[in-house]
Chain A
Amino acid sequence: MTVRLAVTGLRHRYGAHQVLDGIDLFVEPVEVLCLLGPSGSGKTTILRLIAGLEPVQEGTITIDGRLMGGPARHTPPERRGVGLVFQDAALFPHLTVAGNVGFGLRGGERRARIADLLERVGLAGFESRYPHTLSGGQQQRVALARALAPSPAVMLLDEPFAALDAIRREQVREEAIALLREAGVATVLVTHDAEEAMAVADRIALLDEGRILQTAPPRDLYELPRDRRAAAALGKVNVVLGEVADGRVRTALGCWPVALPAGPVDVLLRPEWLRVLPADGEPSWRVAAIRFQGPISYAWVTADRQPSLIVLAPPGLRLDQRVSVIADSTRAVVVPTRPRHVEALDFASR
């Protein structure tokens, strides 16, 4: 395994505000790493430090084994071999498409390289157009071609698809990621959109308040979150209070064996890990709300002295219907915690 980009012990503060508090990352060639986190979690600062737009205060940044940034070392951005794409393309308005793409190129191959790149982003023939005449998606593709032109070792993408409308976003994103993989660039993609991160990332690094909560491939992160915050970052999850004793966990949704020491635990259950059946005994849950979302529907069910759970609604489920809820104990994630109420976290849903 080779490492293209390595970040170790990165700490950064603006005035009294600790933006980054010990960040460790690595990216392999041809890998797409997503930095996923809410705004203000320090994602963009990490990109700026990797690109060399700001000097490193504490920690190190190495690219292909060469130290680029550290407290005593600052290689200027123009000598790092790093490409950068912003949320709103940031194309130079006074230059044509060809001028933008060729901005970082020199020498005789320039023309051919520009034509080749535009061909690959599907904008052949747009050479002499000006940026303001292009659509948002086209601008973003030009920005990608511009960043790819000098063949960077590392590509940094700062929410590049967030400003595009929903329909175009997916297409532009898929094409862009395919192009990056084809070019063999190590890519760091910053986003606050969990679905986007899961769709394109080889690995996701979950960021919160300047720290990394967990780094893992999307499916692992979704199915084996480290704690309730990591679980909520990727989508809807029910956090049910439980108690471990004698190798078994006891919850409002039943008991099953776990390999954990005795004590209070969080039981993390995705909506699809819960099964809803017509009532056939106690305890009985009541359907309080149903939200239709096209391919699937969610339902919120409540019971006496229990906060509601979010579940997948099977076809035919009616409001106020009595049901029982069964947890899939093979998939439930049980993690130690301090006692809290049962709650349904709905952070990342939209």
Chain B
Amino acid sequence: MVLHSLTLPADPLWIELSAIVLPTYLANTVLLVVGVGLSALVLGVTTAWLVTMCHLPGRRVLDWLLVLPLAFPTYLLAYASTDLFEYAGPVQSTLRRWFGAAAPGIEFRSLPGAIAVLTIALYPYVYLFARAGFLRGSATLLQVSRALGCGPWRSFFTVALPLARPAIVAGLALVLMETLAEFGAVQYFAVDTFTTGIYLTWFALGSPAGAMQLAAFLLAGVGGLLALERVARGGGRVADAGGGPLPRYPLGRLATAGALTICLLPVVLGFILPLGVFGRLAVEAGDARLGVDYLPLLRNSVVLGATAAGLIVLAAIALGYAMRIAKSRFVAALVRFSALGYAVPGSVLSVGVLAVIGAFDRGANALGLAAGLVAGGSIGALLYAYGVRFLAIALNAVESGLATVRPEFDAAARTLGIGPLRQMARIHLPLLRASLLTGALLVFVDVLKELPATLIVRPFNFDTLAVRAYQLASDERLSEAATPALTIVAAGLVPVIMTSLALGGRRR
């Protein structure tokens, strides 16, 4: 539907606007993506190397501390860090008190600010993948490299980095995609990118066609990133050299201090400080009305998340079995394609979903089935959007679960006199249960955090925790946003811990 929009006759007003607006969107988006990409790459790889390859005190704790910023949705991190670092915030105020007028006034809500916040929020993707890459490929080869007389720096650049490259690029591709799709934070920082442009064009300018054309541009960018990720994966199939403990490098006292600072800084900035901000706000200036509002919000979020999780996991099971039974490349390709929605930014997706449902409504009206909007702006539409966006997560879980149900189990059960149906109940279900729960949990949390799609597709007056937090923060009522924000972060911790465990599972 979004692609189709490119062929639509353009709104004349929109044509005029686009000449002014498009270059800005393009420049901002490119700057943002490049800035975040580079800094997340450096930060993620550096921390991963320090934690996996060096003798650091508290390495084990750091190992998972470094992942924690992922628990914060970017928009919440943006609110919290703005509260700290804006002109009137505690940091700049303190600086002014110390240095008087000499302290430079910095506008935090700007493009550089957005880059900084997104870097802190997203670098864990690079970190996680780079760490897994270092752990997987390197142990034996690094020992060889050291035996051949390579010091840490040369080993890093000649052995470890090239080996981990595919993993690192995969992590980087995630960061870039998330940045492209970013809505809440950039909107809050008033940095006009494609995603915010799509939202504004649709709702402020009332031009769905224009919004869809912007969305198509963004999709092209996502397509490019997906290709990049494929290339990285395909080109560098690094054999698992495995084996033995890593040869960790001892560090001097100064180097240890430096390394610790580098590793702790993103954790402090990306998790501890923002958590403190919201915690203080919630305690000190909690919204008096919130008690009344909070419960319905929580209920909306939980019901929505649970329903979506249930439906999406069911769909994923159907698709997973279709792939297993059909064994044809066509079916597999079709399923893969249906899971691509994860790479589509929420705002683009909602535009497409609304368009599809709009067409469906018009069709229904034409047939005289039901008057008015049947589906548009309904919970159904929202669930549909979530389904498109989060199917990939559930499908991954189902597939990894089905992979443990080896074909030999089926064969063994059949020859032992158990028919296909009882086989499901006695073998498949017990073996799949854990991964199905995982998939459902991940979808649930993602739905809880999801902002742009919820914001655009939700029915009138239907608020969730994420939507309310966003609205309150947009209205500069950050303290009232604190409680929903903390709830979202608490929920967000669950998948972070699980991902971290899954990717770092090989560590002994």
A residues whose Cβ falls under 8 Å from a Cβ of B: 48, 51-53, 76-80, 82-84, 86, 88, 90, 92-94, 103-104, 146-147, 149-150, 152
Residues of B within 8 A of A103 (CB): 412-413, 416, 418, 426
Give complex CA distance A94, B414 in Å.
17
B95 at interface by CB-CB < 8 Å: no
Q: Is the CB of A78 within 8 A of B415?
A: yes
Q: Is the CB of A77 within 8 A of B411?
A: yes
Q: Is the CB of A90 within 8 A of B414?
A: no
Nearest A residue (CB) for B413: A103
> How many residues belonging to B are interface residues under a CB distance threshold of 8 Å?
17
Could you give 16 example pairs across A and B, Cβ below 8 Å?
Answer: A51-B411, A51-B415, A77-B411, A77-B414, A77-B415, A84-B415, A86-B411, A88-B408, A90-B409, A92-B431, A93-B404, A103-B413, A103-B416, A104-B418, A146-B412, A152-B415
Give complex CA distance A152, B417 in Å.
10
CB distance from A109 to the nearest CB of B (A): 15
CB distance from B295 to the nearest CB of A (A): 39
CB distance from B405 to the nearest CB of A (A): 10
Contact among A80, A84, A88, A94 with B411 in the assembled complex (CB-CB below 8 Å): A84
Give complex CA distance A93, B412 in Å.
13
Nearest A residue (CB) for B414: A77
CB distance from A141 to the nearest CB of B (A): 15
Q: Is the CB of A94 within 8 A of B430?
A: yes
Give complex CA distance A285, B408 in Å.
54
Q: Is the CB of B427 within 8 A of A104?
A: no
Give complex CA distance A54, B416 in Å.
16
B253 at interface by CB-CB < 8 Å: no
Residues of A within 8 A of B236 (CB): none
Give complex CA distance A82, B404 in Å.
24
Q: Is the CB of B418 within 8 A of A92?
A: no
Nearest A residue (CB) for B431: A94
Residues of B within 8 A of A48 (CB): 411
Residues of A within 8 A of B416 (CB): 78, 83, 103-104, 146-147, 149-150
Contact with A along B401-435 (1 / 0, CB 8 A): 00010101101111111110000001100110000
CB distance from A190 to the nearest CB of B (A): 14
Residues of A within 8 A of B413 (CB): 103
**Which of B406, B415, B417, B419 is packed against the most chain A CB atoms within 10 Å?**
B415
CB distance from A53 to the nearest CB of B (A): 5
Q: Is the CB of B411 within 8 A of A78?
A: no
Q: Is the CB of A90 within 8 A of B408?
A: yes
Give complex CA distance A280, B430 in Å.
76
Q: Is the CB of B411 within 8 A of A53?
A: yes
**Which of B406, B414, B426 is packed against the most chain A CB atoms within 10 Å?**
B414
CB distance from A81 to the nearest CB of B (A): 9
Q: Is the CB of A86 within 8 A of B414?
A: no
Q: Is the CB of A147 within 8 A of B415?
A: yes
Q: A93-B431, A94-B431 are in contact. Are A79 and B417 (CB under 8 A)?
A: yes
Q: A86-B408, A90-B409, A94-B430 are in contact. Are A53 and B418 (CB under 8 A)?
A: no
Nearest A residue (CB) for B415: A84
Nearest A residue (CB) for B430: A94
Q: Is the CB of A76 within 8 A of B414?
A: yes
**Which of A53, A77, A82 is packed against the most chain B CB atoms within 10 Å?**
A77
Nearest B residue (CB) for A86: B408
- Known A77-B415, A104-B417; 13 more pairs at CB < 8 Å: A53-B414, A78-B417, A86-B408, A86-B411, A88-B408, A90-B412, A92-B412, A92-B431, A103-B416, A147-B412, A147-B416, A149-B416, A150-B417
CB distance from A43 to the nearest CB of B (A): 15
Residues of B within 8 A of A92 (CB): 409, 412, 427, 431
Closest 7 CB pairs of A and B: A104-B416, A90-B408, A77-B414, A84-B415, A94-B430, A78-B417, A86-B408
Nearest A residue (CB) for B406: A90
CB distance from B102 to the nearest CB of A (A): 67
Give complex CA distance A232, B426 in Å.
46
CB distance from A192 to the nearest CB of B (A): 18
Give complex CA distance A150, B417 in Å.
8
Residues of B within 8 A of A76 (CB): 414, 419
**Which of B411, B414, B416, B430 is packed against the most chain A CB atoms within 10 Å?**
B416
Residues of A within 8 A of B411 (CB): 48, 51, 53, 77, 84, 86, 90
Nearest B residue (CB) for A143: B412
Q: A92-B427, A93-B431 are in contact. Are A78 and B418 (CB under 8 A)?
A: yes
CB distance from B400 to the nearest CB of A (A): 15
CB distance from B37 to the nearest CB of A (A): 42
Residues of B within 8 A of A150 (CB): 416-417
Residues of B within 8 A of A104 (CB): 416-418
Residues of B within 8 A of A146 (CB): 412, 416
Residues of A within 8 A of B415 (CB): 51-53, 77-78, 80, 82-84, 147, 152
Give complex CA distance A84, B430 in Å.
22
Give complex CA distance A75, B61 in Å.
58
Residues of A within 8 A of B412 (CB): 84, 86, 90, 92, 103, 146-147
CB distance from B282 to the nearest CB of A (A): 43
CB distance from A69 to the nearest CB of B (A): 14
Give complex CA distance A78, B408 in Å.
14
CB distance from A210 to the nearest CB of B (A): 21
Give complex CA distance A177, B406 in Å.
26
| CB-CB contacts below 8 Å: B172-225 with A | none
CB distance from B327 to the nearest CB of A (A): 12
Residues of A within 8 A of B419 (CB): 76, 78
| CB-CB contacts below 8 Å: B447-499 with A | none
Residues of B within 8 A of A53 (CB): 411, 414-415
CB distance from A94 to the nearest CB of B (A): 5
Residues of A within 8 A of B409 (CB): 90, 92
Nearest A residue (CB) for B418: A78
Give complex CA distance A319, B413 in Å.
58
Give complex CA distance A266, B419 in Å.
53
Contact among B414, B426, B431 with A78 in the assembled complex (CB-CB below 8 Å): B414
Nearest A residue (CB) for B410: A53
Give complex CA distance A150, B426 in Å.
17
Nearest A residue (CB) for B416: A104
Give complex CA distance A295, B414 in Å.
46
Residues of A within 8 A of B427 (CB): 92, 94
CB distance from A220 to the nearest CB of B (A): 32
| CB-CB contacts below 8 Å: B365-414 with A | 404, 406, 408-409, 411-414
Give complex CA distance A130, B419 in Å.
24
Give complex CA distance A51, B414 in Å.
9
Residues of B within 8 A of A51 (CB): 411, 414-415
CB distance from B173 to the nearest CB of A (A): 34
CB distance from A221 to the nearest CB of B (A): 29
Residues of B within 8 A of A90 (CB): 406, 408-409, 411-412
Nearest A residue (CB) for B423: A78
Nearest B residue (CB) for A87: B408
CB distance from A242 to the nearest CB of B (A): 48
Residues of B within 8 A of A93 (CB): 404, 431
CB distance from A46 to the nearest CB of B (A): 14
**Which of A51, A79, A88, A103 is packed against the most chain B CB atoms within 10 Å?**
A103
Give complex CA distance A301, B43 in Å.
67
CB distance from B423 to the nearest CB of A (A): 9
Give complex CA distance A99, B409 in Å.
14
Residues of A within 8 A of B404 (CB): 93
CB distance from A12 to the nearest CB of B (A): 17
CB distance from A315 to the nearest CB of B (A): 43
Nearest B residue (CB) for A104: B416
